[in-house]
Structure 1
Amino acid sequence: MAQDIAPSQPNLWPYILPTVLVLGGVTLYPIATVLWMSLHDWTWGGDSIFSDVKNYRLLWLKGSFLIALLNTVTFAISAVLVELVLGMILALAANRVTRGAGLFRVLMILPLMVSGIAVSLVWKVLLDPTFGVINAALGAIGLPEPNWLGSTTAAMPSLVMVETWWQTGFVFIILAAALKSLPEEPFEAARLEGANGWQMFRYLTLPMLRPVIVTVVVFRLIDTLKVFDLVFGLTGGGPLRATEAVQTLTYQTAFKFSNFGEAAAIVVIFSALIFAICAAYGALDRRTGGAE
């Protein structure tokens, strides 16, 4: 009796190997170069001297990196939490709107089309304590006129506010699309059982949106941890390092003080942090997938 012969699988390696080699080269070579630089004392135009882990010890002793790391983490967590809450509220509102929802979505994503430096310049003018429109409006109604970007207490919240205005549209558009894809049957059954809006949101909407929410949080967290343009354009890391971020510290260490070895050490440590977040997300995603 003739047996069916399974078709042989084509060998795809000759086709994908060049791409793998190119991608591996453009990824691994910069990583190896940064690791090599972090173990050397090297200034622009000077000799490269092997220094072992001296640059890493200096980062710990100086304390400037720890301050920048704390500021960066504070900024990232604050911005992501505010954006997630606002994005969820706006997505739920847009999901209930029948007329004008398309225009509302367009208006929400408009800030995403603007570059970070342009956003920084516009908001620096708006938040100017002397000539800014915001302080002028506050003064006209008798409210205090804070020094938004020049105060150690107000500078970080001001950065979070600008980041929220700029990037909440991203969270909104993802959550709004996810809400549209949810099945209607569980909600109809809950309504028949007498559940109110909060109960349906807590026990139906949130659990079904959890994978999307986790993905949005991870992506936004990684993006905000890499903040540079807003800090560079609005405060430059001041006042008194109150808004110094890891990326701006790296830039100043490398191009202002010409200490490329120490800047490379900052990049290595910060990249390890980003990699840890990605690994944690991957483990959580696999665990969630396995549970499902």
Structure 2
Amino acid sequence: MLLLITPAALLMALFQVLPIAIGANASFRDWALNNPKKTWVGLSHYIDVITDPAFLQVVLPNTFLFMAVSVAGALAIGLCLALVLNRGFRGQKLVQTMLLLPLMVAPVIAAIMMRWMFNDQFGIVNVVLEAIGIEGQPWMAQRWSAFGVILLTDIWLWTPWFMLLLLAGLQSLPKEPFEAAAIDGTTSWRVFRYLTLPMLRPVIVVCVVIRSIDAFRTFDIVWTLTGGGPARSTELFSLYAYVHAFLNLDFGKGSAAAIVGAVIILVVGLLLYRLMDRVMKV
């Protein structure tokens, strides 16, 4: 048995455990890529990160806001679509296939597409608005409009993922409780509230926790759409660590930021799992 898992264990050790160990070691050293002294500085980088006003006032609020809105939006829309597809209708397979198309689009490609659509000079969104008499907006030049485009892109990409998993969960539920409710003449809302939602709780909790952890480390669509701008106003945690490590060439501080983020998302993931488990039981 041990021989069978040895290749996978070696790959994980070389490409996951070892880089994490190197990054953790770098976070305690003066490790600038243009002048790698590698002198021990202890917790200095960690103190710089957790006391940085940009990190506390912009990066963390943006990251948690993005995580909450994107996960909640994709979950709500995905659940609605799953409920519709679970009923069955003519052309269901075709509609389901079309709804799954965003899963086949790379996030960077989707971000480029959205950036062109919301371009303030010749984007299709402003063209449509001006055609109906509404003045076009500089979407990517303002903080909240740019943040909204980021959220829209992420929700569009991840809604099919929620829909697919929730639809699988709905189709695995036992039929007897729903048949009994139909015989009793229970309304659709009460069936959803007291039967569907409680029985679907384990799937929803797992989906939300996994997606929240993934949303916390989102990098590609934000970097492609705004690069954290305008003026760092849409910067998320992953961009913060990237900028310090690979643009400012401060590998020590970038590694410290990554470790801080890992600790934060570990704590948030555990708390979120317990919170979701309690909320879904109410």
TM-score normalised by L of structure 2 = 0.91
Q: Does residue 218 in structure 1 map to residue 209 in structure 2?
A: yes
Spell out the pairing of 1:60-99 with structure 2 (5 A cutoff). Answer: 60-66=50-56, 67-99=58-90
Cα distance, 1:142 vs structure 2: 2.1
Distance in 2 between the 1:146 and 1:52 partners? Answer: 48
Number of aligned positions between the proteins = 277
Alpha carbons of structure 1 residues 14 and 40: separation in structure 2 relative to 1, 3 Å: same
> Structure 1: any 5+ residue segments left out of the alignment?
1-11
Distance in 1 between the 2:166 and 2:96 partners? Answer: 12
Q: Is the 8 A contact 1:42 1:48 kept in 2?
A: yes
SS at 1:149 equivalent? helix
Q: Is the 8 A contact 2:114 2:149 kept in 1?
A: no
Distance in 1 between the 2:207 and 2:169 partners? Answer: 11
Superposed CA deviations along residues 11-50 of structure 1, whole A, max 9, x for unmatched, are: x345545654553454332222111111111111422111
Counterpart pick for 1:39 among 15, 20, 28: 28
Q: Does residue 54 in structure 1 map to residue 49 in structure 2?
A: no
Give the share of equivalent positions with the same residue, in percent: 35
Superposed CA deviations along residues 153-173 of structure 1, whole A, max 9, x for unmatched, are: 212122111111111111111
TM-score normalised by L of structure 1 = 0.88
Cα distance, 1:138 vs structure 2: 1.4
Write out the 4+ residue segments of structure 1 that deviate beyond 3 Å after TM superposition: 12-27, 277-285
Spell out the pairing of 1:98-117 with structure 2 (5 A cutoff). Answer: 98-117=89-108
Q: Does residue 188 in structure 1 map to residue 179 in structure 2?
A: yes
Distance in 2 between the 1:243 and 1:117 partners? Answer: 17
Over the aligned positions, Cα root-mean-square deviation in angstroms equals 2.2
Q: Is the 8 A contact 1:126 1:133 kept in 2?
A: yes
Q: Is the 8 A contact 1:155 1:242 kept in 2?
A: no
Aligned to 1:140: 131
Q: Is the 8 A contact 1:38 1:261 kept in 2?
A: yes
Alpha carbons of structure 1 residues 24 and 211: separation in structure 2 relative to 1, 3 Å: same
Distance in 1 between the 2:126 and 2:24 partners? Answer: 47
Q: Is the 8 A contact 2:120 2:139 kept in 1?
A: yes
Q: Does residue 27 in structure 1 map to residue 16 in structure 2?
A: yes
Cα distance, 1:52 vs structure 2: 0.8
Superposed CA deviations along residues 214-260 of structure 1, whole A, max 9, x for unmatched, are: 11111211121111111101011011222101111111111111111
SS at 2:134 equivalent? coil
Alpha carbons of structure 1 residues 18 and 279: separation in structure 2 relative to 1, 3 Å: farther
Distance in 2 between the 1:277 and 1:102 partners? Answer: 37
Alpha carbons of structure 1 residues 26 and 162: separation in structure 2 relative to 1, 3 Å: closer
SS at 2:155 equivalent? helix
Distance in 2 between the 1:210 and 1:278 partners? Answer: 17
Cα distance, 1:280 vs structure 2: 4.8
Q: Is the 8 A contact 2:114 2:153 kept in 1?
A: yes
Alpha carbons of structure 1 residues 257 and 108: separation in structure 2 relative to 1, 3 Å: same
Alpha carbons of structure 1 residues 164 and 19: separation in structure 2 relative to 1, 3 Å: closer
SS at 2:33 equivalent? coil
Distance in 2 between the 1:180 and 1:212 partners? Answer: 12
Distance in 2 between the 1:51 and 1:216 partners? Answer: 40
